[in-house]
Amino acid sequence: MSGFHPRCPPPTRLVRPVRVDPDGESGPRRGTAAGPSWRTTSHGFVVPADVPQTVEQRILEAAVHLPEGGMVTGWGALRLAGAAYVDGFAGRKPRPVPVLLPHTSRIRGPGVLVERTRGRLPDPVVRHGVPCAPSEIALLHELRRASSARAAGVMVDMALAAGVIDLERARHVATTRRQSPAAAYALERACAGCRSPKESEMLQVWESDVGFPRPLMNREVLDLSGRLLAVVDLLEVESGTYGEYNGASHRNRERQRRDEARADALRGVGLEGFVLVAGDSERVWRERMASARERALWLPEERRRWRLGAFVPAPPLPDTEEAALDAIMLEHYRSLE
């Protein structure tokens, strides 16, 4: 389990850019706008200089230039719907905001990636004052740009974890459009039980690379008296094998102490585990998975000393503005680790 949360906090300080106004009525005069109290967002548009430059603010600043009928799509629409995984960065470089336009429309302003269609545009969903493509369509647009089938699989799993798409609706929409092999793979094998990108990668290696049957994700493990022993990232009930991905939040001494206590409790009831950490190669992932499964006891249900509990979703988000902003920044910096 990692410190990642699949949903991002709702933006709380979005400010729509205004035009520079020679008369100073609907916006600041040119000389004032050039001063330290204002920040230029694009040609002729400004916001107050103290407006935080969050991902959502950048989407809003790009959306100011949308023509009639245009809408934000791709990662931008998913982000405004609440999906944390699509953070608008490629490494440290901001990605352009994808927009969907009628075929004959044009858009002015920097930082946008244009998609056009000759067909009927979907009815937009207005989020935080921005017209957005429905999330299922936005996801399909984003999947076209996935760097690999694995990356596409993570994207779909994280959209599901964030609760921003309906999987069956996305699959139906996909049948009406030409899709890449990566998108088809991602939608076919999608899992709603993953809570972090690394859990999705671990599941895909388990299933697609090693060829093991689909396990359960983020399930409680109880002893026979009903006492909670752990919530494990991956669990194959039949073999009694579990897996964990330990990210940066597991590196402090207290967390390591708790992790060892959990592992000991799980061994005590006959479960065999593997642990993956940052920096491991995928060869190591595959070897650890196969080795743990070979060591597993494969006990029939009547001989097991543990039982299965409930699925555990991601915890609620912080509800304060300060915590929300901290979470946005922390999420980005973790993505660079």
- Convert the chain into a string of H (helix), E (strand) and C (coil): CCCCCCECCCCCCCCCCEECCCCCCCCCCHHHHCCCCEEEEECCEEEECCCCCCHHHHHHHHHCCCCCCCEECHHHHHHHHCECCCCCEECCEECCEEEEEECCCCCCCCCEEEEEECCCCCCCEEECCEEECCHHHHHHHHHCCCCCHHHHHHHHHHHHHHCCCCHHHHHHHHHCCCCCHHHHHHHHCCCCCCCCHHHHHHHHHHHHHCCCCCCEEEEEEEECCCCEEEEEEEEECCCCEEEEEECHHHCCHHHHHHHHHHHHHHHHCCCEEEEEECCCCHHHHHHHHHHHHHHCCCCCHHHCCEEEEEECCCCCCCCCHHHHHHHHHHHHHHHCC
In which band, very low, low, confident or very high, does the pLDDT at 2 lie, cut at 50, 70 and 90? low
Q: What percent of the chain has pLDDT over 70?
A: 91
CB 44 within 8 A of CB 19: yes
What are the backbone dihedrals phi and psi of residue 75, each rounded to the nearest 5 degrees, phi first?
A: -60, -30
Contact partners, residue 252, CB within 8 Å, separation at least 6 = none
Q: What is the mean pLDDT of residues 197-221?
A: 97
Q: How far apart are CA 232 and CA 234, in angstroms?
A: 6
| Per-residue pLDDT at 334 exceeds 60 | no
Q: How far apart are CA 243 and CA 99, in angstroms?
A: 40
Which CATH architecture fits 198-311? 3-Layer(aba) Sandwich (3.40)
Q: Residue 256: its pLDDT value, please? A: 78
Q: Record the pTM.
A: 0.90
Q: How far apart are CA 118 and CA 123, in angstroms?
A: 15
| Per-residue pLDDT at 320 exceeds 60 | no
| Other Cβ atoms closer than 10 A to 323 | 12
**Residue tagged 């921003």 (tokens):** 164
Write out the two tokens for 309. Answer: 């509990």
| Per-residue pLDDT at 337 exceeds 50 | no
Q: Among candidates 21, 8, 241, 259, which has minimal Cα distance to 127?
A: 8
C-alpha separations of 196 from 154, 183, 244 in Å: 9, 19, 12
Q: How far apart are CA 228 and CA 332, in angstroms?
A: 33
| Per-residue pLDDT at 221 exceeds 80 | yes
Q: What is the mean pLDDT of residues 234-246?
A: 97
Q: What is the Cα gyration radius of the chain?
A: 23
The residue type of 319 is D
Q: What is the mean pLDDT of residues 205-227?
A: 97
| Per-residue pLDDT at 323 exceeds 80 | no
| Other Cβ atoms closer than 10 A to 25 | 7
Boundaries of CATH 3.40.960 in the chain?
Answer: 198-311
Q: What is the mean pLDDT of residues 252-259?
A: 75
Q: Residue 110: its pLDDT value, please? A: 76
In which band, very low, low, confident or very high, does the pLDDT at 107 lie, cut at 50, 70 and 90? confident
| Per-residue pLDDT at 326 exceeds 80 | no
Write out the two tokens for 155. Answer: 């994207």
The residue ranking higher by pLDDT, 123 or 246, is 123
List 40's β-bridge partners, or say none: 46
Write out the two tokens for 248. Answer: 């940066």
Write out the two tokens for 326. Answer: 């901290």
Q: Residue 336: its pLDDT value, please? A: 35
Buried b (16+ CB within 10 A) or exposed e, 50-75: ebeebbbbbbbbbbbbbeeebbbbbb
Q: Residue 251: its pLDDT value, please? A: 60
Largest Cα separation within the chain, whole Å, is 82
| Per-residue pLDDT at 115 exceeds 60 | yes
List 231's β-bridge partners, or say none: 220
Q: What percent of the chain has pLDDT over 90?
A: 78
| Per-residue pLDDT at 330 exceeds 50 | no
